[in-house]
């Protein structure tokens, strides 16, 4: 199902790879599946992808991109993403926060269905 763009299945693959459930832990694969689900507007995948960027799991740590994903998920009503955004912003500069907001607006404009 995930190969056909089922966001829930993509998200579940991401969780499985992140936690090592039934398969070996592989943060790179978790990021891949979270990204696919996030691009299909799966809010928990968007939040989890933000966490992967914030912690540098499976890709380089990047607070701006992490915050971008938290903003996107929060805009969809994900409360955890709102909390994660607030936590991340405590260590970011004003310029970084503005950059994340700009990226989030662009993503929402360009990729939302």
pLDDT tens digit sequence for 8-21:
999 999 999 999 98
Domains of the chain and any CATH numbers: 2-111 (1.25.40.10)
DSSP state of 56: T
Q: What is the pLDDT of residue 103?
A: 97
CA dist 89 → 35, 48, 94 (Å): 22, 17, 9
Cα 56 to chain centroid distance, Å, stands at 12
Rounded to a whole number of angstroms, the CA Rg of the chain reads: 13
Question: Would you state the pLDDT for residue 69?
Answer: 98
Q: Give the Cα separation of 53 and 72 in Å (integer).
A: 14
Give buried/exposed letters for 61-79 (b at 16+ CB in 10 A, else e).
ebbbbbbbbbbbbbbeebe
Would you state the pLDDT for residue 8?
Answer: 94
CA atoms within 13 A of residue 11's CA, in its CB half-sphere: 15
* pLDDT confidence tier of residue 111, bands split at 50, 70 and 90: confident
What integer is the mean pLDDT of 83-96? Answer: 97
pLDDT category of residue 113 using cuts at 50, 70 and 90: very low
Q: How far from 87 is each of 70, 71, 81, CA to CA, in Å?
A: 10, 12, 10
pTM of the model: 0.91
- Supply the pLDDT for residue 21: 80
Q: How many residues does the chain have?
A: 113
- pLDDT at residue 1, as a whole number: 45
């Amino acid at each position: 199902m995930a190969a056909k763009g089922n966001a829930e299945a993509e998200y579940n693959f991401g969780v499985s790879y992140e936690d090592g459930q039934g398969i070996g832990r592989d943060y790179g694969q978790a990021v891949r599946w979270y990204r696919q689900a996030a691009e299909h507007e799966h809010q928990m995948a968007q939040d989890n992808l933000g966490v992967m960027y914030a912690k540098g799991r499976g890709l380089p740590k990047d607070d701006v991109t992490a915050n971008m994903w938290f903003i996107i998920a929060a805009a969809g009503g994900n409360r955890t993403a709102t909390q994660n955004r607030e936590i991340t912003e405590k260590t970011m500069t004003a310029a970084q926060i503005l950059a994340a907001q700009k990226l989030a607006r662009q993503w929402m404009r360009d990729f939302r269905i």
